[in-house]
Copies of this chain bind each other. A is one copy, B any other.
Amino acid sequence: MSTTPQATPRRATITDVAREAGTGKTSISRYLNGEMSVLSPELRARIEAAIARLDYQPNQMARGLKRGRNRLIGMLLADLTNPYTVEVLQGVEAACHALGLMPLICHAANEVEMERRYLQLLTTYRVEGVIVNALGVREETLRPVGGGGIPAVLVDRSVDGLVTDMVGLDNRAAAELGTRHLLDNGFDDIWFVVQPFEQVSSRQLREAAFREAISAQGEQRGKRAARGHTLVLNLADADEVARGLAELDRAIDAAARALGAAGATSNAARIALFAANAPVALCLALHLKTRYGADWQARVALLSIDDPDWAELTGVTTIRQPTYEIGYRAVEFLHERIEGVQTAARDCLLPGELIVRASTLR
C-alpha cells in the first residue's frame, strides 16, 4: 500500500463517454440534461453503463461557458464572526439548495479592501447574482453590481443611490420594541450603544427609532420622562472602545450615587444598555464583567438586538432576528431577478422577536 497521495489522473470527458458508448456527444449531452424521451432505451442503457464505467462527471465550467449561466451566485459576508451572519447563511444555503443554485461564499472579515476584491472576483467568475451583506457598502464599490451590473440583493442594509432589492430586519419596529420594553420595566436612563454608522443603514435606523421612542414616551406616560443617550463604539479601535466604556462607567456610577441604596431594588437605579447588535453586546458584557464581577447584571441592565447563544446562558434579554428567513428570502428575490423579473426594487422588512430574560427584569 502506498502512503503517497497520488497525482490526479485526467478526468473523463463527454467525448470519452461517447466513444465508450459508441455514439455521438449529442446523445450524451441529451442524457445529461434529462431528455430521456428522445433516447431509445437501448442507447440510454449503453450511455448509463459508459458513464458508470468511466466515472464520468460533466464539467460544470464548460457547461456554464456554453449556456451562459453557471448557477453560481455570490454571497458577500462582512463578518462571519457575527452569529447573525452564520444564521442568515443557513437560510441562504437552504434556499440555494431548493433552487438549484450554488453559493460562492466570500468573507470580507470586516475589511473594505477585501470586499472590493471579492466583488471583483465574483464578477470574473460570472456569478449570476450576488447577495451582499457588506461593511463598506457604497454606491461606488458596488458599481459592478445592482443597477448596471449583475443582479444583487442587499441584506440588512440599503445603499443610497443603489437600486436593488433588499431584505432585513424591520429595524424601526425592533428598536422601538426594545426601547418600550425597557421603559415599561421602569428604566429611566437608557443608553443605546452602536458601532459607527458609516454606510450601514440599519445602524442609523435603529438609533433613530430609539431616539424617537424615547421622545414619544414622555407624552404617553404620566411619569417623569426617561432619558436616552447614544454611545458610538468603534469595535475596531481599542482606544476608542476604552474611551467609550469609560464614559459609560461614569454614567453608571453617577446613577448609582444619585439613587443611593434606597432605590437599589428598583430598575430606576440601574442604567439600561441597549446594544444595537451582538458584537456590541458582547463587548459591553465583557467589560461590565471585568469591572463589576460576575454579578454585573445587578448594576446594569443589558438588552441586545441579535440573539447569540451566550444570551441564553447569561440571561440577557434580546430581540431575535428572523435570520433564517432573511437569508431565504434574499435568495428568492435574487433568483427572481436572475430569471428576469423586472418589477421595481423591493424592500422586505421582517419583524424581530423580543425574548425577555432576567437581565431586564427585577
Q: Across the two chains, which residue of chain B brings its CB closest to A146?
A: B5
Known: A126-B60, A294-B315. A163 touches B65 (CB 8 A): no
Report whether A312 and B294 are in contact in the complex, using a CB–CB cutoff of 8 Å.
no
Residues of B within 8 A of A125 (CB): 60-61, 102
A15 at the interface (CB under 8 A from B): no
Residues of B within 8 A of A86 (CB): 80-81, 86
Report whether B80 and A70 are in contact in the complex, using a CB–CB cutoff of 8 Å.
no
Q: Report copies per complex.
A: 2
Nearest chain B CB to A11 CB, angstrom units = 8
A37 at the interface (CB under 8 A from B): no
Nearest chain B CB to A353 CB, angstrom units = 19
A343 at the interface (CB under 8 A from B): yes
CA distance A80 to B286 in the complex (A): 24
A207 at the interface (CB under 8 A from B): no
Q: Across the two chains, which residue of chain B brings its CB closest to A310?
A: B310
Report whether B342 and A4 are in contact in the complex, using a CB–CB cutoff of 8 Å.
yes
Report whether A3 and B124 are in contact in the complex, using a CB–CB cutoff of 8 Å.
no
Of B4, B105, B164, B282, the contact of A345 (CB 8 Å cutoff): B4
Q: List 29 A-B contacts (CB under 8 A).
A: A2-B163, A4-B163, A4-B343, A5-B146, A5-B152, A6-B147, A7-B340, A8-B149, A8-B150, A8-B151, A57-B123, A57-B124, A59-B126, A60-B125, A60-B126, A61-B70, A86-B86, A90-B107, A93-B109, A102-B121, A286-B312, A286-B313, A289-B313, A294-B315, A294-B358, A308-B310, A309-B310, A310-B313, A314-B314
Of B62, B93, B344, the contact of A65 (CB 8 Å cutoff): B62
Known: A61-B70, A62-B65, A286-B313. A109 touches B124 (CB 8 A): no
A222 at the interface (CB under 8 A from B): no
Residues of B within 8 A of A123 (CB): 57
Report whether A337 and B5 are in contact in the complex, using a CB–CB cutoff of 8 Å.
yes
CA distance A91 to B11 in the complex (A): 30
Known: A89-B107, A309-B310, A313-B282. A147 touches B5 (CB 8 A): yes
